[in-house]
Amino acid sequence: MQNSPPRTLSDLAPSDRFQILIDAVKDYAIYLLDADGYVATWNTGAERFKGYTADEIIGQHFSVFYTDEDRTIGLPARALQTAASEGRFEAEGWRLRKDGTRFWTHVVIDPVIGEGGRVIGYAKVTRDITERRVVDEALVASEQRFRLLVQGVRDYAIYMLDPEGRVTNWNAGAQAIKGYTAEEIVGQHFSRFYTEEDRAAGMPVRALATAIAEGKFEGEAQRIRKNGERFWANVVIDPIYDNRGELVGFAKVTRDITDRRKAQEELERSREALAQAQKMEAIGRLTGGVAHDFNNLLTVIRASADFLLRPNLDDEKRLRYAQAIADTAKRATALTGQLLAFARRQPLKPEVFDVGARLRGLHQIIGTTIGASVAVEIELAEVAQLVEADPSQFETAVLNMVINARDAMPGGGAITIRAFASSGVPPVRGHAAATGDFVAVEIADTGAGMSPDTLTRVFEPFFTTKAIDKGTGLGLSQVYGFAKQSHGEIDVRSEVGVGTAFTLYLPRSRATPETPEAPVGPIDVAVLPARRILLVEDNEGVGNFAAGLLRELGQTVTWVGNGQSALDALSRNRDAFDLVFSDVVMPGMSGIDLGQAVKARWPDLEVVLTSGYSHVIAEEGTHGFELLRKPYSIEGLLAALKQSRAGP
């Protein structure tokens, strides 16, 4: 009876099951060699990617799979020798298919040991890994190109940090910028690049924490080179995570921006110098009108003083003339205050203000500027029209446009100043129209007008159609610069023989303007207790007047002419004084220097400063001292003395 075929693998003999396994493997060439290297068995995987059938290859030497160059150097024989002597041979290399094409393989050869420990053959497993090699080579090439790229960059320091902030690699740009070689810096903590003050403030740790929390850290600050030199750097730090989302380090890119910072600072200085030049030109052009106005004010003061000196003047007239002097002095004080604030050198300080209120405040100085031959009409809205810009630059721009309008009407005419809401900006100098909420300030004149050619150049710095001694051409360029810096625009319309209208557009602000301090009301002399005042004033006339005024107010006064004399008097008898009242601008020691010296030695002694105008105050502030501005009234002096007593 004939045996039936097996129904399951378990019905097969072990040797048959093993042969079925070998033949079922298609991704590996698995076969035996005899002791001399001739092929003894062949599986389906070997046939699939080497191209030989079992009938074609069994009995052939396995060196047929090797390239000519490998056979020339004896690589097949060496592979068998290694397997026999070391118990295993493993390598990767090029092999040949039946059709002569090459493929990259991973090869393992194990010796087959017979009785007595003798090698009777070899088991050989080969895998086609050509695709993996292509991927690996592409990856290696990509990494190599990336390394070459990173190393070739010299304008940026590009390197990595471990999770604790230690440097793990270093490119040529890092060495060029920071001065360290890779051997010197790899393994060191990156905080050594920071300044001492930044390290003390915990900036390195904060930078890494920010990179982790926000996904990136970026900033500009000073850093330290190897030689101790400081430089300005732009720094970007990105965290690096592995496939499991765990932090493995940081990528850090640093650029030396010292030259850029210097250029920006120089540009800012140039802008400030240009703005100051523009202001001073406007002041020069204002001088004639201001002198005329001051002569009018002085006429009132001089005539009133002459009448007060006349004998037998009744009380009613004496009071009237004294009041005229007081009112005129107040107007003169307001006028000089505007001029000094206008001329003062100061950085741009945007703040929220009402355009209408500023224009009302300029009304007097505008009238002074243009003279009696030009009529001025100001049309302002009832509601506040708020913008956010530098108020000093705004006033400069308005005055420059007013002066330009006045100069266009040498025979007289009219100027109309309007402030109104605008829903956008019309097309200007080839730019498209813009929509949005704006406040427009229009200054229109009935002057000579400008030609189209002049209109195209009217905002160029130093461009002017006036005579050499009539202007430098900086005024309208200041208006243009102010408009642009304030995110606004300036438009001009003009017709020869009809007139010109400049319109300044500034974005409307929704913010709330700062509330001005409430004015100090009248102070009763009786509520001011008598104190011992050390008066410091170098001007004899002002010193005599101030000493007399203070004594009239019930104060005990000692008057000295300079700061050193004041310190000497205090050193001799500190207890003789309750307050130091000093001018700011004096030869030698300034009032601010004196005040600081007094506070350093006698911190409980009160100090009040006074000045008409001081560049020291404008640029540095009053350093916390109470300041009474000249010319001061009795009421102002009382307020300053009372405020100082209520101070810290």
DSSP state of 65: G
* CA 290 distance to own-chain centroid: 41
The span from the CA of 303 to the CA of 531, in Å, is 37
Both 465 and 367 in one domain: the answer is: yes
Number of domains in the chain: 4
DSSP state of 46: H
Both 103 and 13 in one domain: the answer is: yes
The dihedral formed by the CA atoms of 307, 308, 314 and 315, expressed in degrees to the nearest 10: 140
Q: What is the pLDDT of residue 205?
A: 93
Both 461 and 548 in one domain: the answer is: no
Q: What is the pLDDT of residue 471?
A: 46
> How many other β-carbons are positioned within 10 Å of the β-carbon of residue 69?
9
- Decide if 389 is inside a domain: yes
The span from the CA of 581 to the CA of 574, in Å, is 15
Q: Which residue positions in the chain have pLDDT lower than 50?
A: 1, 9, 150, 344-346, 467-473, 517-523, 614-616, 618-619, 646-648
- Give tens-digit pLDDT for 536-549: 998 887 788 788 87
Q: What is the pLDDT of residue 422?
A: 92
- Decide if 394 is inside a domain: yes
Both 243 and 277 in one domain: the answer is: no
Both 577 and 431 in one domain: the answer is: no
Residue 244 tokens read as 């499991």
Q: What is the pLDDT of residue 26?
A: 66
Question: Sheet holding 230-241: strands in order across?
Answer: 156-161, 247-256, 230-241, 217-224
Q: What is the pLDDT of residue 472?
A: 42
* CA 377 distance to own-chain centroid: 42
Question: Which neighbouring-strand residues pair with 421?
Answer: 439
Both 246 and 334 in one domain: the answer is: no
- The beta-strand segments (E) located in 242-296 are 247-256
Both 557 and 409 in one domain: the answer is: no
- Decide if 472 is inside a domain: yes
Domain of 317: which CATH number?
A: 3.30.565.10
Both 31 and 84 in one domain: the answer is: yes
Q: Which positions ≥6 away from 498 have C-beta within 8 Å?
A: 446, 449
Contact 250, 274 (CB under 8 A): no
Q: What is the pLDDT of residue 1?
A: 46
Residue count of the chain, please give it. 648
Residue 614 tokens read as 């001081």
- Decide if 444 is inside a domain: yes
Q: What is the pLDDT of residue 519?
A: 45
Q: What is the pLDDT of residue 450?
A: 87
Both 454 and 312 in one domain: the answer is: yes
The residue among 222, 256, 290 that closes a domain is: 256
- Give tens-digit pLDDT for 293-351: 566 667 667 767 777 887 887 888 788 778 878 877 776 776 665 555 555 444 556 88
Both 370 and 477 in one domain: the answer is: yes
The span from the CA of 204 to the CA of 250, in Å, is 13
Both 99 and 207 in one domain: the answer is: no
Q: What is the pLDDT of residue 225?
A: 92
- Decide if 329 is inside a domain: yes
Radius of gyration (C-alpha) of the chain in whole angstroms: 46
- Decide if 143 is inside a domain: no
Residue 577 tokens read as 């004084």
CA nearest 534: which of 585, 598, 612? Answer: 598
Q: What is the pLDDT of residue 431?
A: 72
Tell me the residue range of the domain where 333 lies: 268-507
Element holding 29 (H helix, E strand): strand 28-34
The span from the CA of 355 to the CA of 345, in Å, is 22
Domain of 580: which CATH number?
A: 3.40.50.2300
- Decide if 148 is inside a domain: no
The residue among 129, 163, 196 that closes a domain is: 129
- Decide if 416 is inside a domain: yes
Both 234 and 324 in one domain: the answer is: no
The residue among 96, 129, 162 that closes a domain is: 129
**CA angle 510-513-515, nearest 5°?**
150
Residue 221 tokens read as 């600050």
